[in-house]
Chain A
């Protein structure tokens, strides 16, 4: 059985060869005074339809249309080829017509988010497995609520037990909002531990004002905070893993709308050229 690395290497080589062949073919077209833009455009459009079909294929899992993972591989490498084709299609120039600029911008968004998504989907899972408990994204609000309730109960019990409001004051000041929702998205995205360190520092600063019992309570409270922080980390990465598709898929369909308009305009105004 092929290892992932070997499969990726052979797929990349095949992709590069295909892209090179396409470039040579289009260059030869141009040298023969034929309009390579028509050829490259239609190939590009066909590939875009195949790429878009991946999303549709996932909606019909019951049909025998190859495995989704196979489709994903095809989607990835064809997507790389479209970058080469697009550059060949525009002739390595920046378009400057209204319609063309729109299409180019949408394509850049689609391709850019696609590459970003490739990077995210390859790097985030590893990060997710390293820190915090890997929980289902749909259940994260439930677990956040659980931690919030747990922390709140601990603080209320501490007030009753110690007859002081030190911990409660701190909870109200810093932790109530922290537990009310998912926090520190950008910090967790860039793997920053600053929020965690900030809490650790605050707990350490609070320590001089605490009795022994309060210190125990704060110790438990801090663990809940750290679990919440890990949950935030998981939430941030998983949200990003789901969120990039919002841009990628939406931009893809918008791009298709403008591309269809572009095809109609080109064929109406091409003046018989091929």
Chain B
């Protein structure tokens, strides 16, 4: 028996249903859309319907006339010619009742396809033109962060410009989508502005949010270094990744938010998550992982020097010598979050050793003073036709310093003529010794003297306002009330007035005359040959007013009423704030040595024109009875608690700063630093003042508080003093982030020195440059951290080595 057949039980031959042959079967046309309706009964007609489904069968045959007879044409497959034959009129004798044609298999399939497409279009149109269209086309749930605030359909327009305005709750229509899809599309950068409407204030996105790492492209280019991963580290993965296109950035090198942050991935999707490969998409030097190819930490964490100059190794060594403990925890404690280790305050960390240095500053700073002037030389100069500086107080000549303090120089520099005069005097020349000075230098000295007088005149008449004007002019900046208060340390106006009255009582009259260009009184005249002096009668020597005045007073123009006692030399040492030499010993004056004149009281409520009592006429032959007075401490001792005091010995108004963080010195250093441009090699008054303060009174401040060259918002360079240890803003986002807390919780890392290994350092070299970023571990006093140390734990199957674990992308600094 042939497989697939059934045999006839009678004959044993296979039963064959299908016959092939012209006479046995008709030709099937399965591609035609309609078939006879009687096919399902198994009795289809042989004619079949037309293409439109109309039944064409009317009879079993179409008779053909041959000669005068009609012949039946029924096909052999239908039984051949019938017995009856066609009717005489030529019609077939066997009529066929028309059927209702049905679709063939292919026709039915076409119908199904048609209605399927129609249904799809209908459903799509119904949904897309309904209010629910935005929900329908939404490609997935929003992440939980966005989903909480963007809830309704109008929310689509918050991020998608194509979604229409936020006013329309139903969103834009499909025709608008078609227009948007076919027309010019919105730029990705413009679309990112939708993100920034809400995220503009996010830390890291306030400035340059679309630039790589949110920093200025020029700064980014400048921060590029040539460190490359070790050769041969490029894996197959990177070679395959290089098949991709260039990183999608605009012509101005910006990257759209959606390039990295892909939404609509479900509420648990982490928008900020990036693979390590994606992080490195823009980097030319790529590496495989932290342990394999990551550039070495040549500078981290010491790429920026600390604000406070501190030699860790030196202090450790010193403490060991003194058998004191020097524990890291003494100065470094975790902040509230545990993330950062913050440096303790001066009081907590440094005062135990360093406070005493600041509590006894000696005589203090010589702020406002009269310089010592070579009166004789200048008088001769005046007599020979040069300008005259007017009356200069006795004692303010050779016996006191002929150099101006930084404060005086800055205040005098506000006047261009005086500034030029200051520049004309060489650095080595002192005003109290003009021997060998040129004519121009003498003129300059006179100008300086008048400048000093004008200063005291202005201070006496206008007080602090005069100071503010002069400082603003010299520093080319504005001085507000707060800054003025700090710069003056609340200098009592009466103090400057008293100083003027004591030292320069005539300036109130002479300065206006000088300023008006009028001659002042007692101008020396041109010298003529003096007559031979007569033999003077013996005259009693006037009672000496100062202890050490061995020379008789020469005939001079009237001296100012106040005659000063000659100060004790012991107490005039100059202005080093932290001069540790013990030279400020108060000298107890013997009663006999007390000046005869009573010094005016600082708080004397008498008239402004304090007329100093004329020196008492020395009695001819009587000896003054010894005065019984309490010993007068030196003025700096009387101002033990700090503040302003008059030092008549040196014709100076001094300021005595006591303790750490004195506001006066701090403000002067800060103000003059601000006016100093590190870009310019030329000296400005502010720069000169700052340099002088650094070297003199400010030395101890900047010994520990580093000075950085910075740029303000307008790009102007200036100096900035770091008064505090590193301060971290709450929303700071550095490029490298490190959290101490989880690390310190490990017993292996409890000791700070595991990671921060101290080395001998060159602290001075570290701070020689004003650029805070020019630092290195060698200068920091610590050995650099190594990648391997971190990679011990930070591996994919351990603590994790994702780029984002240690790095921020959007940074604030």
A residues with CB within 8 A of B: 24-25, 27-34, 93, 95-100, 129-139, 141-148, 219-220, 222-223, 226-227, 230-231, 242, 245-246, 249-251, 253-254, 257-258, 261, 263-274
Let me know if B178 is at the binding interface, CB within 8 A: yes
* Contact in complex: A33, B124 (CB < 8 Å): no
A98 to B278, alpha carbons, bound, how many Å?
30
Which of B8, B116, B137 has a CB less than 8 Å from the CB of A251? B116
Could you jot down 29 A-B contacts, CB within 8 Å?
Answer: A25-B243, A31-B281, A33-B247, A33-B282, A97-B138, A99-B139, A133-B17, A139-B18, A141-B42, A142-B39, A145-B42, A146-B17, A147-B17, A226-B6, A249-B113, A250-B109, A250-B112, A250-B117, A254-B117, A254-B119, A261-B124, A264-B177, A267-B180, A268-B176, A271-B160, A271-B185, A271-B256, A272-B256, A274-B248
Let me know if B476 is at the binding interface, CB within 8 A: no
Let me know if B131 is at the binding interface, CB within 8 A: no
Q: Nearest-CB distance from A14 to chain B (Å)?
A: 20
A219 to B6, alpha carbons, bound, how many Å?
13
* Contact in complex: A95, B244 (CB < 8 Å): no
Q: Nearest-CB distance from A268 to chain B (Å)?
A: 4
Q: Which of B259-267, B350-358, B699-707 forms contacts with chain A?
A: B259-267
Q: Which of B187-195, B503-511, B611-619 forms contacts with chain A?
A: B187-195
Which of A100, A246, A249, A264 has a CB less than 8 Å from the CB of B178? A264
Task: List the 3 shortest-distance A-B pairs measured between CB atoms, nearest first.
Answer: A145-B42, A272-B188, A32-B244
> Which B residues are CB-close (under 8 A) to A99?
136-137, 139
**Given A97-B138, A145-B43; A138-B248 close (CB under 8 Å):** no
Let me know if B95 is at the binding interface, CB within 8 A: no
Chain B residue with minimal CB distance to A219? B9
Let me know if B241 is at the binding interface, CB within 8 A: yes
* Contact in complex: A227, B17 (CB < 8 Å): yes
* Contact in complex: B17, A97 (CB < 8 Å): no
Let me know if B258 is at the binding interface, CB within 8 A: yes
> Which B residues are CB-close (under 8 A) to A129?
3-4
B residues with CB within 8 A of A: 3-10, 15-18, 25, 28, 30, 35, 39-44, 104-105, 108-109, 112-113, 116-117, 119-121, 124, 127-128, 135-141, 160-163, 174, 176-178, 180-182, 185-191, 240-248, 255-256, 258-260, 264-266, 275, 277-278, 281-282
A223 to B300, alpha carbons, bound, how many Å?
94
* Contact in complex: A135, B258 (CB < 8 Å): no
* Contact in complex: B6, A223 (CB < 8 Å): yes
> Which A residues are CB-close (under 8 A) to B161?
271
> Which B residues are CB-close (under 8 A) to A31?
241, 244, 275, 277-278, 281
Chain A residue with minimal CB distance to B15? A227
Judged by DSSP, the binding face of A is helix
16 A-B pairs besides A139-B28, A242-B105 with CB distance below 8 A are A25-B244, A31-B275, A98-B136, A132-B4, A133-B4, A141-B39, A148-B42, A253-B117, A254-B116, A258-B120, A261-B124, A267-B182, A269-B137, A269-B162, A269-B177, A270-B185
A158 to B402, alpha carbons, bound, how many Å?
154
Which of A33, A253, A271 has a CB less than 8 Å from the CB of B248? A33
> Which B residues are CB-close (under 8 A) to A219?
9
* Contact in complex: B185, A272 (CB < 8 Å): yes
**Given A223-B7, A261-B128; A97-B137 close (CB under 8 Å):** yes
Q: Nearest-CB distance from A241 to chain B (Å)?
A: 10
* Contact in complex: A137, B181 (CB < 8 Å): no
Chain A residue with minimal CB distance to B20? A136
* Contact in complex: B112, A143 (CB < 8 Å): no
A129 to B5, alpha carbons, bound, how many Å?
10
A137 to B35, alpha carbons, bound, how many Å?
13
A134 to B3, alpha carbons, bound, how many Å?
11
> Which B residues are CB-close (under 8 A) to A136?
18, 28
* Contact in complex: A143, B17 (CB < 8 Å): yes
* Contact in complex: A246, B6 (CB < 8 Å): no
A261 to B241, alpha carbons, bound, how many Å?
32
**Given A138-B28, A145-B42, A274-B248; A133-B18 close (CB under 8 Å):** yes
A268 to B16, alpha carbons, bound, how many Å?
64
A227 to B8, alpha carbons, bound, how many Å?
10
Q: Nearest-CB distance from B410 to chain A (Å)?
A: 55
Q: Nearest-CB distance from A249 to chain B (Å)?
A: 6
Q: Nearest-CB distance from B133 to chain A (Å)?
A: 9
> Which B residues are CB-close (under 8 A) to A272?
185-191, 256
A31 to B280, alpha carbons, bound, how many Å?
8
Chain A residue with minimal CB distance to B177? A268
> Which A residues are CB-close (under 8 A) to B181?
263-268
* Contact in complex: B244, A28 (CB < 8 Å): yes
Chain B residue with minimal CB distance to A32? B244
Chain A residue with minimal CB distance to B189? A272
Q: Nearest-CB distance from A197 to chain B (Å)?
A: 16
* Contact in complex: B113, A253 (CB < 8 Å): yes
Q: Nearest-CB distance from B576 to chain A (Å)?
A: 61
Q: Nearest-CB distance from A44 to chain B (Å)?
A: 16
> Which of A249, A265, A268 has the most chain B CB atoms closer than 10 A to its own CB?
A268
Which of A30, A97, A268 has a CB less than 8 Å from the CB of B278? A30
> Which of A147, A258, A272 has the most chain B CB atoms closer than 10 A to its own CB?
A272
A29 to B277, alpha carbons, bound, how many Å?
11
* Contact in complex: A33, B180 (CB < 8 Å): no
> Which B residues are CB-close (under 8 A) to A98?
127, 135-138
* Contact in complex: A143, B18 (CB < 8 Å): yes
A138 to B241, alpha carbons, bound, how many Å?
56
> Which A residues are CB-close (under 8 A) to B260?
33
* Contact in complex: B18, A28 (CB < 8 Å): no
Q: Nearest-CB distance from B283 to chain A (Å)?
A: 12
Q: Nearest-CB distance from B285 to chain A (Å)?
A: 15
> Which B residues are CB-close (under 8 A) to A27?
240-241
* Contact in complex: A230, B6 (CB < 8 Å): yes
* Contact in complex: B18, A32 (CB < 8 Å): no
> Which A residues are CB-close (under 8 A) to B43?
142, 145
A28 to B286, alpha carbons, bound, how many Å?
14
Chain A residue with minimal CB distance to B125? A261
A250 to B120, alpha carbons, bound, how many Å?
10
Which of A32, A96, A143 has a CB less than 8 Å from the CB of B266? A96
A131 to B119, alpha carbons, bound, how many Å?
40
Q: Nearest-CB distance from A180 to chain B (Å)?
A: 10
* Contact in complex: B18, A135 (CB < 8 Å): yes
> Which B residues are CB-close (under 8 A) to A132?
4-6
Q: Nearest-CB distance from A247 to chain B (Å)?
A: 8
> Which A residues are CB-close (under 8 A) to B8?
223
* Contact in complex: B281, A32 (CB < 8 Å): yes
Chain A residue with minimal CB distance to B17? A143
A129 to B4, alpha carbons, bound, how many Å?
6
A267 to B182, alpha carbons, bound, how many Å?
8
A97 to B148, alpha carbons, bound, how many Å?
18
* Contact in complex: A28, B188 (CB < 8 Å): no
* Contact in complex: B40, A141 (CB < 8 Å): yes
**Given A97-B138, A100-B139, A273-B188; A130-B120 close (CB under 8 Å):** no
Q: Nearest-CB distance from A142 to chain B (Å)?
A: 5
> Which A residues are CB-close (under 8 A) to B259?
33, 273
Q: Nearest-CB distance from B18 to chain A (Å)?
A: 4
Chain A residue with minimal CB distance to B161? A271
A139 to B16, alpha carbons, bound, how many Å?
13
Q: Nearest-CB distance from A105 to chain B (Å)?
A: 12
Q: Nearest-CB distance from B158 to chain A (Å)?
A: 12
> Which A residues are CB-close (under 8 A) to B17?
133, 135, 143, 146-147, 227, 231
> Which B residues are CB-close (under 8 A) to A147?
17
* Contact in complex: A245, B109 (CB < 8 Å): yes
> Which B residues are CB-close (under 8 A) to A134?
4, 18
